């Protein structure tokens, strides 16, 4: 009886140790970079100190691991954006046109793309990263190290499971943004129109 109890105790301790094993940044990056394409809806709430209610916008997104991000704003107005390593383009009646970006805005968009791609090595260049949770439910806290980013953000919190579903940005001036990514669906390829929009 004592031997059975000892074996049982050993199995319980082994299970507890396995459950307590830390989910690390390398595993998170592998998990988030696995899908070739993610589609979904977004809701963004911009909380400004000067306004009693947040500014809310909604739309759809398409994230392609190797090409970039289509950010398709639908409310309160319709406007399509493309975010790639080359920068941000906006769609007009005659096609896509690169936007003029200040250095801080360009940094913000590179950061956003790295977050959605799960590129922790890129994030680690400018942030101290603290990961908690499990593969099924995790949170990544980013604290800026770079002087430029400290002028913009105090902290960024990203949480999710198989894909990111919540991003909170806290700005140095006291404003904040809450971005929720909903109904995310994973696919192995872009549609013909999506591929054209991301590559032309």
Distance CA 189, CA 64 (A): 8
pLDDT at 174: 93
Domains observed in the chain: 23-199 (2.50.20.10)
Which position has the token pair 């977004």? 42
DSSP SS3 for 156: strand
Distance CA 42, CA 67 (A): 19
pLDDT at 21: 53
Distance CA 31, CA 54 (A): 32
pLDDT tens readout for residues 114-171: 888 878 888 888 899 999 999 999 999 999 998 888 888 999 999 999 999 999 999 9
Does the pTM surpass 0.85? The reply is: no
pLDDT tens readout for residues 47-76: 999 999 999 999 999 999 889 999 999 999
């Amino acid at each position: 009886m004592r031997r059975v109890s000892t074996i049982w105790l050993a199995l319980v301790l082994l299970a507890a140790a396995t459950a307590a094993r830390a989910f690390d940044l390398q595993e998170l990056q592998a998990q988030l970079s696995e899908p070739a394409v993610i589609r979904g809806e977004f809701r963004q709430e911009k909380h400004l100190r000067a306004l009693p209610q947040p500014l809310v916008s909604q739309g759809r997104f398409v994230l392609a691991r190797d090409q970039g991000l289509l950010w398709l704003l639908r409310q309160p107005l319709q406007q399509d954006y493309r975010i790639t390593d080359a920068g941000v383009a906006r769609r007009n009646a005659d096609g896509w046109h690169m936007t003029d970006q200040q250095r801080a805005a360009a940094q913000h968009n590179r950061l956003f793309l790295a977050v959605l791609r799960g590129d922790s090595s890129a994030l680690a260049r400018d942030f101290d990263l603290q990961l908690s949770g499990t593969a099924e439910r995790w949170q990544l806290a980013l604290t800026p190290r770079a002087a430029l980013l400290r002028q913009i953000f105090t902290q960024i919190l990203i949480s999710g499971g198989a894909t990111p579903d919540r991003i909170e940005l806290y700005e140095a001036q006291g404003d904040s943004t809450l971005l929720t990514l909903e109904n995310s669906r994973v696919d192995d390829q872009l549609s013909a129109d999506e591929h054209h929009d991301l590559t032309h």
